[in-house]
Structure 1
Amino acid sequence: MKILLLLSLLSDFHLIFSTQGFGELRKFGGTLKRRSAMGKISIESDIFQWGKVRLVLYGFENIWMGRDVGLIQLDPQEADYLLGGGWKVIKEKKWYGIFLDHTCYHKIDTLVDRSLYWNKLKFVYSNRNLNFQTNPSSLYYRLELGSYLRHEKIPWLTVGNPNQFDFLLDLFYAHPLSNTVMPFLDLSFYSGLTLEYNLTPEIEANWGLLLKGLSNEGMLYLGFRPLDRKGYREAEGVLYLGSKVKF
């Protein structure tokens, strides 16, 4: 009986290794010394599935490039990385999950004025699966609710970030212009809530063209942050051009 029960449980277990990611480059306007350009590589993989539950591992690496002396516009000055993982449950065309993020921010070849890293537990609810190409005329959303881990006897859990909670809502819509070209709008609303109950908001808007290829898709866009008060990696009021390719 125990063997039959074990075989029944294992019949719902499948290795997946379903992986997607993207490369992104942004070039900022204006004269901010540390905001000349940003390059990013992000990857996410569903490792295995048991019934409707999946184990997910993911991460990204950002390189922020600033303006140096003279004509130098792409001087690497800051680097960020995130490693995370957790569990998600798929229900029809939607999914939800709980994840743990470890995020760390660094400066390159310069004096470090403060350490900045944290561990955060977050809940995510979304109807967008980045393993599939974008379905035109569909409104995609992603909602995140996060709680920063802190303990008086473990001071290294969160350092340099005043937030205790945060919230993110991302909305994405693409309109079909043809089978391969789709204008899109991507809106992001974020805010942290600090230990002193202050908000740290950010609003970001990207609009441009989504280009569908035979196996995946890319984007060319113009972006702007009308509000950016996070307290790190700010770029308020600066226009930027971006390109993004999924793989």
Structure 2
Amino acid sequence: MTIAPDRTGAPAPTTPDGPVLEVRDVWKLHKLGDEVVKALVAADLTVTPGEFACLMGPSGSGKSTLLNIIGGLDRPTKGTVSIEGQDTGALTESQFASLRHDTIGFIFQSYNLIPFLSAVENVELPLMFEPYDRASLRRRAVDLLEMVGLGHRMHHHPTKMSGGEQQRTAIARALVGNPRLILADEPTANLDARTGKVVVGMLRDLCSTLGVTVVASTHDPTVADEASRVVRMKDGRIVDDPGPAPAPSGSASSAPS
């Protein structure tokens, strides 16, 4: 995969000295009438720079809940989540939003593209209201779409694109701000096997070439086969975790300037 150069002025991803992500004793409880549902129980997880970590388990195992808590789309009932050393529980909503904007890229199962915007406009969207040169932002978006093999589809709207093309557009959008952490929720769930393998290969290459850290939730063995680490979950608990994998060699030096 050829990496698109960033011409917007957005900071290039750098490799932190310590873990990108630390989850400590995280619980998520829901009260349904008189019953307390334990969606997440005592979760502990450390992810280091350049890892492709896969949260794997059946529906209801807690993997999407954990991913949402990591990304700040939900808050834990108990426990701490630190991203690049920052305790997200100590941040206000606006501070957490700023951290997400600067550090995290999201890839959703349902793509979450804006239907009335073209592919290139969807990729530009996260930085559209930032003080970047518009021509440079457009070139960045075009470069990213070409990187994911969609240079010929950049002016198409999502309704005119296949599921795989929409997901690749979503990957390009997630990368536009040069995030250091990508969170992918069931990134292959709506794709056929062949297209899913292409998407997973792109996520793997982000780690090995850019040094980006990827945490993906999935029940798809294809994702697990390509991941550098598989964290297995069941009934809201992490039941098997081999621990942080070594960062891919050359990941830090391969980051674009």
- TM-score range, shorter-chain basis? under 0.3
What TM-score, normalized to structure 1? 0.24
Tell me which protein shows more helix as a share of its residues.
2
The structure with the larger Rg is 1
What TM-score, normalized to structure 2? 0.24
